[in-house]
Amino acid sequence: MDQQSSQEYIMAKNIQSGMNIFVMNEEGKQLISEQVANVSDVMKQGYMAPLTNEGTLIVNNIAASCYATINSHDVAHAVLSPMRWWYNLFGTMNETSDKTGVHWFANMLYEMTTFVIPSIIHY
């Protein structure tokens, strides 16, 4: 979210001091706008990037997008809509790519995008 709190998602690596982000209030029932006081890098081994039906989740009381490799939450959410429709119609299946734990549909889109328009993928 930008400095005007316009509900626009930005990548975590682009967060800067002074920007406003949405966080859960103390009761954990509502998102409120808070200003970022400082930013520091934290390195940890491993990661998890769950996909939710809404495309968002709360991480450490901060509102976050599920989409990590594309700089546009709205584009990523639209592109993954067929996967959400499938699950809404037919339920869940535990099909992931070998070894990575990434869903086959998301993995296919990632591979196609890195081949066709690699400039929109951010690492």
CA distance 113 to 116: 5
**For residues 63 and 56, is the Cβ–Cβ distance under 8 A?**
yes
The closest alpha carbon to 56, from 14, 21, 90, 98, belongs to 21
Write the pLDDT tens digit of every residue in 1-49. Answer: 434 445 678 778 888 999 999 999 988 889 999 999 999 988 877 766 6
If one counts every other C-beta atom within 10 angstroms of the C-beta of residue 97, the result is: 15
80 confidence band (pLDDT: 50, 70, 90): confident
**For residues 33 and 89, is the Cβ–Cβ distance under 8 A?**
no
Has residue 76 been placed in a domain?
yes
Has residue 5 been placed in a domain?
no
Write the pLDDT tens digit of every residue in 42-52. Answer: 887 776 667 78
pTM of the predicted model, to two decimals?
A: 0.64
Number of domains comprising the chain: 1
Has residue 7 been placed in a domain?
no
> Structural domain of residue 79, as residue ranges?
12-120
H-assigned helices in the chain? 73-79, 81-90, 104-116
Q: Which residue has the tokens 């997008």?
A: 65
Has residue 111 been placed in a domain?
yes
Has residue 4 been placed in a domain?
no
Has residue 77 been placed in a domain?
yes
